[in-house]
Amino acid sequence: MSQLGSEAYFLAAAPQLLEALTREGGVRIEAFAGILMEKLRRLESEHLAGIPVRDVHDPPGAAPVPLSGDALKNLHFAVVAAGRTRFLRILRHSREVADHIWDFAESDAFAVAVSRAHEHTTGEPWQGPLPGFHTVEADDTVSAAAGISPG
């Protein structure tokens, strides 16, 4: 999956978040992006890389595998998207990440919402890495906002 995924996927997955961030504007977008980046940073320090996990799209009976690279990044997003309770539980007990079947296909919707809301609000592309991503690609567009807390 690309960093942004397809526009069609995003519009189906997170329209309410995009609408809320766009309505609230710049400061809210910045704050939301900051909260998201902090949650993802906290998960990066939890050493989830060696823990075998399952995805809802895995074939039936497939053995879970430890993740790395983009797949691990998608797991971090999925943990945040699972909500505050599960996020905090995984922070306290990282091995429990293996007890849940995750949906990686929807993992970057928060970052996409930040990007699209910034662009809709300012008319300009986001000028930094997407929350959760450490590099900027030429076609990345993102923004950051306040007040709405991911997960």
Of residues 139 and 81, which shows the higher confidence score? 81
Give the per-residue SS3 of 39-107: HHHHHHCCCCCCCEEEECCCCCCCCCEECCHHHHHHHHHHHHHCCHHHHHHHHHCHHHHHHCEECHHHC
Q: Which residues contact 10 (CB under 8 A, 6 or more apart)?
A: 4, 18, 109, 112, 113, 116
Domain ranges of the chain: 7-122
Whether 135 has a pLDDT exceeding 50, the answer reads no
> In what order do the strands lie in the sheet containing 65-66?
65-66, 52-55, 101-102
Give the other-Cβ count within 10 Å of 101's Cβ.
Answer: 13
Which 8-state DSSP code applies to residue 97?
A: G
pTM for this prediction: 0.73
Six token digits for residue 60:
């039936």
Of residues 68 and 3, which shows the higher confidence score? 68
Which 8-state DSSP code applies to residue 62?
A: P
- Residue pair 3/111 in contact (Cβ under 8 Å)? The answer is yes
Six token digits for residue 104:
């990686």
At 11-49, the pLDDT tens digits run 455 788 889 999 998 899 989 999 999 999 999 887 898
Q: Which residues contact 72 (CB under 8 A, 6 or more apart)?
A: 48, 49
Res 9: pLDDT: 44
3-state SS, residue 140: coil
